[in-house]
Amino acid sequence: MSSSHASLTLEDARRIIAAATKKAEDIGQPMNIAVVCAGGHLLAFERMPKAWLGSVDIAIKKAWTSRAFDIETKTLGELSQSGDQFFGIHASNDGKVMIFAGGVPIKQGDTVVGAIGVSGGLGKQDQAVAESGAAAFNS
């Protein structure tokens, strides 16, 4: 990635998706995997065979949410429970905000350069696959 712009490239996104796909295969759970650039726009997407159709939209929105707020969607979900500081945030941005585990910001140093969103399994599975994808960027 060029240091002249702080965003993931398509090549980065493909490497991230490949690592996430390998993790999903390792755990035996078909996933939908989305990667967004620093601007929150979809850069790359993969739907593994037999991954839920309903999770396509969720994966893309998890990636967007993670970049829009520079936070893991798992953490945002924990902070948005009734009575907590972000309660109701999922209704913002025309309902685009996802508060389920599986969205992870991708950083270069301290700068968020994009995000990955994964959906298709249990929250802990989505999170593990997203973390594997994100880790591939910095390896």
Distance separating alpha carbons of residues 137 and 13, to the nearest angstrom = 8
Name the percent of the chain lying above pLDDT 90: 95
pLDDT at 138: 84
CB 96 within 8 A of CB 61: yes
Q: pLDDT tens digits for 48-82?
A: 999 999 999 999 999 999 999 999 999 999 999 99
Residue among 24, 67, 25 at smallest CA distance from 42: 67
CA–chain centroid gap for 92, Å, is 18
Confidence of residue 32 (pLDDT cuts 50, 70, 90): very high
Residue bearing tokens 């025309």: 94
Phi and psi at 51, nearest 5°, equal -70, 145
- pTM recorded for the entire structure: 0.93
Kindly list the structural domains of the chain, giving each domain's residue range(s) and its CATH number in brackets, ordered by start: 10-137 (3.30.450.150)
How many Cα atoms within 13 Å fall on the side-chain side of residue 118?
34
Q: pLDDT tens digits for 77-124?
A: 999 999 999 999 999 999 999 999 999 999 999 999 999 999 999 999
* Run of H or E including 108: strand 103-108
